[in-house]
Amino acid sequence: MVTSAVHLQLTAVLAFGTCGGYTGRNVVSIICGGSTNETLSATFTYPFRLNQELLVENNTTLCNHTVPAATHLVGDSSSSVEFFVAVAVLAFLYSMVALLVYLGYMHVYRDSDFGPMFDFALTAIFAFLWLVCSSAWARGLQTVKDATGTAGIESTLALCKDEDVKCEVTEYASLRSLNISVIFGFLNLIIWAGNVWFVYKETRWHSQKVNAQQVAGRGPNPAPI
């Protein structure tokens, strides 16, 4: 159980460490028919409130067209990534406390019914939370990719809808760490779900089941002759 607690800490740290504080920048090339081409920067940062990320300032001239109002990216993935990070941080803190209990107070843990049952319940809850938050963040990350890609920029910037103007993302920010965070999220799900079994073996439910099976295996005592 000590080894499992260490693994839980490590994977939780890697999960929130690979997405928290992220900053990315895509370069958008605007090909203007009959005039000088333009370049924009689509910058997006954690927690990915894309609708607050400025793409074009107001009264900016692009391809001999004036953009009257400020244009922002579209979408908001802050709720999903903040939920993901919150679960990861709480999981790390709980696994750290559990490790201290396993190392220093294992005799107290095993002598009481409350400790193992409480541990089992929270471990099962965290396994479920990892499923929910990882799925939500995977969807949120796809929203980020869609909003900062060529199709997303074209639908956001009205200028790109003109026949003589073409918009294309020519340089993409590396999303490797964000993809890795999603992978670690589902890896945490697997590890926490597997750890449920090991914690369950410490509860009285498991010991009662084993004792009942042993009694059933021995069968009734033979009658005295």
Alpha helices in the chain (DSSP H): 2-17, 78-104, 106-111, 114-148, 150-156, 176-200, 204-218
Q: What one-character DSSP code corresponds to residue 52?
A: G
Give per-residue pLDDT as tens, 153-202. 999 988 888 888 899 999 999 999 999 999 999 999 999 999 998 888 87
47 vs 23: CA distance, rounded Å = 9
Tell me how long the chain is: 225
Cβ-Cβ contacts under 8 Å for 22 (sequence gap 6 or more): 45, 46, 177, 178
d(CA 152, CA 1): 47
Predicted confidence (pLDDT) per residue in 100-132, tens digit: 988 888 888 778 778 788 889 999 999 999 999
What global pTM score does this model have?
A: 0.85
Task: Identify the pLDDT of residue 216.
Answer: 57
Q: What percent of the chain has pLDDT over 90?
A: 57
Work out the angle at residue 157's Cα, subtended by the Cα atoms of residues 156 and 158, and round it to the nearest 5 degrees: 110
Q: Which helix (H) or strand (E) holds 121?
A: helix 114-148
Residue type, 26: N
The average confidence (pLDDT) of the chain is 87
Check whether 89 has a pLDDT greater than 60. Answer: yes
> Any residues with CB less than 8 A from the CB of 51 and at least 6 apart, and which?
72, 73, 74, 75, 76
pLDDT at 108: 80
